[in-house]
Each structure stands twice: as structure tokens, then as C-alpha cells.
């Protein structure tokens, strides 16, 4: 879609949040609405239903009333009101009154809107033709949400919905959502025994099983293999730091409310690290560097910690402990292009191996209208963004630009993957940082013996390993490529008299470097096959009378009903080649 189309769709979705309120208030008098924004794939609206309990069972009735009301709606009228007028208009809604007081304190204008016998508090951005534009919608789900994300405030009922320009697009999206339910990593992660959560440990803190840890390690080892070939060196840093480090870097002012803080017995304030770059800077600063030593490339896979709101946590997608495959390159201006392209090569190789052969490229820039959100000067940003634009123009077939999506310290190139059911995910990122070197006075000694200001490149291939694994699970529906599968081959003896041959074959495969499991439970072979299929094992080997001599195997491939006869040597060569080639 064009930007104009995207904006129009967002306005339609936001308008439908208002329509949801109008219908809910007519069905359940006394209902109070809070906020209702458009989001990436739809909209939501928060409600206080009082003594009523609303669930998805009420959606048909609510949608019917929405369509009845929509017939009478006209283009939204929007106008500005005084604080006193707003207080009178929304005297019975404590949530609107709280927002009004906030606007008044900040000196912001207060606007209301009305599409036809329904008044609401809103800054604007609505449908120009409600009757036609807003027809293709669907309410999807409910959830609990604390008012303003504050756990100390009341829990509200959040209703999610979606809308599109056409019914065809809506139906496609609903079909995708049904498929997404089957692929939900929270469900599959448990079924495949990859991770678990514990109430005693706490929400947002996943515990990885042996199988899940194996996948994490395979992914991380591959990233390290690619980085090592390009001159990176591993470093290690502690998990806590004095707040002074983040004050100097600028992170404290930006993120102090998202940090886990620690006060020592001596009243010193520390924080669980929410990022690694300031620490790696201290390693670089330990000694002077000649231009001959540049660039310096540091990498580390380590956890960082963010105090996320409990209501915003979601499986592996949003957690409080985030494992980053982090890297920082300290280089000269003249080396930026080469170092960016090295990382780009790593990203291309890695994502091809995990099943994303095509990545969209997004150049994330600062928002010049809100420069207060960023470090540095407009001149520094212009120079940095120009450098990245030139690199993207040369390397990418095409790319989009996204003002406002930059990190607060510099612009970046983001890589977007489309999964197997069409959803887009932001995955890898390469960021150019011209501000941290200024704040920490990072230099190298150049050919003239002078201190020359350097730049930093931040690079994450998976970013958050937790989030990336959630994407990977859903992309493959848990059926990982052979090289990533926790169990690559399941050996299935038909009966106990075949156990000896099955165990001999298992040993042979283990010695060939294949991850194999022998299911010698006293169960029917049909049941064993169903268990292996549920575990998404790539290969199943049924060992009966014909296969007991281990000359020819009956090979069952994942997702196929029929077995294929294959010589043992040929089978081993096939599987080991898939592992070696990462297929």
C-alpha cells in the first residue's frame, strides 16, 4: 500500500474503535471507554464494563449493533473545546477525565468528535465516509489491560478487532489468523518441549529445556561461525553496572523507567544491563588504538534485562530477559561501508539457512519534527543517514525509508522477513552510531599522529534470540529444517525382538554425528509413528523383520505417509549432507 492508503486504513480502524464504543454503550448502559487506537493489524478499545463480564461470546451481538449504528453515521465532525467544556461532556467517565487533566496540565488542545449522535474525546484522524469505508470489520478477541499500563490501576477489558478496505482482504486476514493459531509458538513450544515458564521464577522469564537450548546454541554457533570468518572477537561483560555508565551514554534518561535497579548495602545504585554497547565501549577505551588496529570487532551473546509491564508480556515474543547476539564494530569513517557490507553478508547467509531466503530492507531514519528524542545534532544525523542511504542504494535491489524508526543514537538498516503465512517481522539490524563515540570521546591515532574521531556500528543478526525463536517456530510450524531439528532421526522398532537391531542402528547414526532417538517403548509402531510426527521429527526409520539386518531401511519422511527403501550408507550420507549444508 502507498503511505496515503496506509493512513486511510489506520483512520478506518481508529474510527471502528469509536464504533465499538457506541455499540457497547447502547448494549450495556454505564459502560466507560478508555483509549482505542489503531494498531498494525487492526485496532483495540479498552472498556470498564462495571458489573458486566464481556467475552467473545458477546461479539455477534456487539457486531450486529455496530452495523446497525453504522447505517446512520456520517463523516466525523471534530472541534476543539475548553477544559471546562470537556469536563462537563465526560463527567461520568473517570478515564476521560484523567486524560483531560493531563492535556490541561501539558497545555495541549482538547478535541472531541461526533459521527452522528455519539460524542467522544479524540485528537482526530477518522474516516471521511463511515458507511462505505467501515463495512469490512471483525471483532477478534478480548484481553485484560491495566489502565495506562499501570499494574496499580484498574484492570480493563480490551477488545481487539481488525478491518480492511475489502471483504476479500478481510477474509484473507481471518484465514491467516486461523493458521497463526495452529502455529502459535506458545502452544508448539510446549508440545515440542522447547521451553517452559514457572510462576515461582516469574512472568517473562522463560526456562529453556535441553531441546530448546540445543536450538538456541545451534543458531548462535552459526552466527559466531559467520562472524569469526570476518574478524570478530568474543568479549564478556558483567550483567550489572553502576548507573553512571548509562547516564554518560544517555540510556538512563531515555530508559530509566524500564530498568531493573539494584541498591547495594553501601547505597550505590546499580542496574541490570538493558544493553551492551556502553560496556563494549569501555573495553575499546582500555588502551589507545592505532589506525593500523582498526577496525576493532567485538561480539558477545548475552542476556539483557528490561522491566516490561506484566500485561505486555507474551510468550517468547516479549520477555524480561532478552538474549542478544550483539556485536559492535569500532571503525574509521572510511571503513563504514566495508564493515556494513560484511554484516550484510552474514545476514544473507544466516537467513537463507533458517528458511527466509528473501528479506525486505528498511532504512530507519530520525523524525526531524521531534529531534528532542535523539542524541547529537541535525548535521551529524544528516551525514550518518546519507552514508547509510548510499550503502543501501548500492547493495539492495530496493528499500523503503521509515522516518521516526531510528535508534535514539543513530540511523539503521532493518531487515524484514515474511513468514510462511505472510506476516512481516523485523529481524536483523545494522545501526550506525555517531553519538556514542562523541559522548565517550572514542578515537584512534591516525597516520599523522592525531586523534581521529571514530564511529560505531551496532549489529544484531537475530536480535532477541527469544523473539527470533518464536518467529522461527511459527514460520516452520515447529517442523524445523533437519540441521535445526532437536531430534533428526527417530528409530522405531516394530516389536521387542527388533530392539537389538534398532539400538545398533542408533549407535551407528550417533557416531555419524546425527541426533537420533530410539523409541523402544512397548507400544505399537503406529503409535510410535504418531508420537514422532507430533514431535515433527524429519526422519523416521521403522525397523521390522526386513530391516533387522540393517542393509536396507524403510525411511518415512516427515509429512509423508509412504516409506522409501534406502541403503543405510545412502541414508547416512543424505542426512549428514543436510546437516553440513544447513538444510
Residues paired with residue 485 on neighbouring β-strands, in sequence order:
none
In the set 65, 412, 515, 536, the catalytic residue is 412
Cβ 508 vs Cβ 543: under 8 Å: no
What is the distance between the alpha carbons of residues 540 and 264, in angstroms, rounded to a whole number?
55
Q: Which of 13, 458, 475, 517 is catalytic?
A: 458
Residue 359 neighbours by CB distance under 10 Å = 19
**Helices and strands counted in the chain (H then E):** 18, 28
On whether the CB atoms of residues 528 and 495 are closer than 8 A, the answer is no
Mapping DSSP onto H, E and C, the string for 43-57 reads EEEEEECCCCCCCHH
Any bridge partners for residue 77, and if so which? 114
Catalytic residue among 87, 306, 337, 531: 306
The sign one gets for the Cα dihedral 416, 400, 403, 276 is positive
324 catalytically annotated: yes
Residue 311's SS3 state is helix
**In 10 A of CB 519, how many CB atoms?**
21
Helix axes 167-183, 465-476, angle to 10 degrees: 110
499 is known as an active-site residue: no
Q: Say which of 11, 45, 296, 324 is annotated catalytic.
A: 324
For the question of residue 328 being annotated catalytic, the response is: yes
Asked if 403 and 459 count as a contact pair (C-beta separation under 8 A), the reply is no
Q: Are 289 and 262 in contact (CB under 8 A)?
A: no
Query: Which three-class secondary structure string do you get for 237-274?
Result: CCCEEEHHHHHHHCHHHHHHHHCCEEECCCCCEEEECC
Beta bridge partners of 455: 331
412 is catalytic: yes
Reply yes or no on whether 530 is catalytic.
Answer: no
DSSP 8-state class, residue 318: B
Length of the chain: 583
- State the catalytic residue, choosing from 277, 331, 444, 518: 277
Which member of 48, 120, 325, 326 is catalytic?
326
Cell numbers linked to 352: 537463507
Catalytic residue among 18, 328, 342, 528: 328
- The yes-or-no answer on residue 326 being catalytic is yes
Q: Clarify whether 467 is annotated catalytic.
A: no
Q: Cα separation of 339 and 327, whole Å?
A: 12
| Active site residue ranges | 277, 306, 324, 326, 328, 412, 458
Amino acid at each position: 500500500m502507498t503511505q496515503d492508503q496506509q493512513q486511510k486504513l489506520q483512520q478506518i480502524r481508529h474510527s471502528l474503535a469509536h464504533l465499538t464504543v457506541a455499540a457497547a454503550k447502547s448494549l450495556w448502559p454505564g459502560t466507560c471507554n478508555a483509549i482505542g487506537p489503531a494498531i498494525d493489524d487492526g485496532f483495540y478499545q479498552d472498556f470498564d464494563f462495571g458489573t458486566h463480564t464481556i467475552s467473545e461470546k458477546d461479539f455477534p451481538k456487539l457486531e450486529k449493533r455496530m452495523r446497525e449504528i453504522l447505517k446512520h453515521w456520517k463523516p466525523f465532525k471534530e472541534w476543539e473545546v475548553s477544559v471546562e467544556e470537556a469536563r462537563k461532556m465526560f463527567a461520568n467517565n473517570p478515564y476521560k477525565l484523567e486524560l483531560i487533566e493531563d492535556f490541561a496540565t501539558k497545555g495541549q488542545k482538547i478535541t472531541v468528535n461526533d459521527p452522528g449522535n455519539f460524542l467522544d474525546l479524540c485528537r482526530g484522524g477518522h474516516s471521511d465516509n463511515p458507511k462505505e469505508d467501515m463495512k469490512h470489520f471483525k471483532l477478534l478477541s478480548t484481553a485484560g489491560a491495566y489502565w495506562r499500563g499501570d499494574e496499580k490501576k484498574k484492570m480493563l477489558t480490551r477488545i481487539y478487532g481488525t478491518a480492511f478496505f475489502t471483504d476479500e482482504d478481510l477474509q484473507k486476514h481471518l484465514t491467516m489468523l486461523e493458521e497463526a493459531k495452529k502455529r502459535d509458538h506458545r502452544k508448539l513450544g510446549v508440545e515440542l518441549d522447547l521451553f517452559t515458564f514457572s510462576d515461582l521464577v516469574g512472568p517473562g522469564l522463560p526456562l529453556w529445556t535441553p531441546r530448546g537450548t540445543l536450538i538456541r546454541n545451534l543458531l548462535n554457533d552459526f552466527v559466531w561461525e559467520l562472524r569469526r570468518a570476518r574478524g570478530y572477537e568474543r568479549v564478556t561483560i558483567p550483567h550489572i553496572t553502576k548507573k553512571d555508565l548509562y547516564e554518560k551514554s544517555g540510556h538512563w534518561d531515555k530508559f530509566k523507567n524500564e530498568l531493573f535497579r539494584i541498591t547495594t548495602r553501601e547505597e550505590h545504585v546499580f542496574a541490570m544491563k538493558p544493553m551492551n554497547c556502553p560496556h563494549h565501549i569501555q573495553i575499546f577505551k582500555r588502551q589507545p588504538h592505532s589506525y593500523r588496529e582498526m577496525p576493532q570487532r567485538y561480539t558477545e551473546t548475552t542476556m539483557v534485562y528490561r522491566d516490561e509491564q506484566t500485561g505486555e508480556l507474551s510468550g517468547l515474543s516479549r520477555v524480561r530477559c532478552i538474549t542478544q547476539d550483539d556485536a559492535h564494530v569500532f571503525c574509521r569513517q572510511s571503513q563504514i561501508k566495508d564493515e556494513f557490507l560484511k554484516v550484510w553478508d552474514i545476514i544473507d547467509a544466516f537467513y537463507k539457512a533458517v528458511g527466509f531466503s528473501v528479506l525486505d530492507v528498511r532504512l530507519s531514519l530520525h523524525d526531524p519534527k521531534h529531534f528532542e528524542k535523539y542524541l547529537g545534532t541535525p548535521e551529524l544525523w544528516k551525514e550518518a543517514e546519507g552514508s547509510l542511504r548510499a550503502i543501501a542504494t548500492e547493495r539492495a535491489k530496493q528499500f523503503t525509508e521509515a522516518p521516526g524508526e531510528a535508534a535514539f543514537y543513530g540511523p539503521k538498516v532493518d531487515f524484514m522477513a515474511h513468514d510462511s503465512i505472510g506476516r512481516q517481522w523485523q529481524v536483523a539490524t545494522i545501526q550506525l552510531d555517531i553519538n556514542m563515540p562523541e559522548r565517550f570521546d572514542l578515537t584512534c591515532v591516525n597516520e599523522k599522529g592525531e586523534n581521529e574521531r571514530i564511529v560505531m556500528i551496532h549489529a544484531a543478526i537475530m536480535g532477541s534470540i527469544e523473539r527470533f525463536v518464536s518467529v522461527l517456530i511459527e514460520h516452520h510450524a515447529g517442523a524445523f529444517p533437519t540441521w535445526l531439528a532437536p531430534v533428526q532421526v527417530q528409530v522405531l522398532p516394530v516389536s521387542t525382538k527388533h530392539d537389538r537391531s534398532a539400538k545398533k542402528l542408533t549407535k551407528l547414526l550417533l557416531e555419524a554425528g546425527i541426533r537420533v532417538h530410539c523409541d523402544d517403548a512397548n507400544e505399537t509402531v503406529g503409535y510410535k509413528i504418531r508420537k514422532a510426527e507430533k514431535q515433527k521429527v524429519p526422519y523416521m526409520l521403522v525397523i521390522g523383520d526386513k530391516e533387522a539386518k540393517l542393509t536396507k531401511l524403510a525411511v518415512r519422511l516427515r509429512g509423508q505417509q509412504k516409506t522409501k527403501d534406502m541403503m543405510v550408507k545412502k541414508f547416512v550420507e543424505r542426512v549428514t549432507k543436510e546437516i553440513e549444508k544447513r538444510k
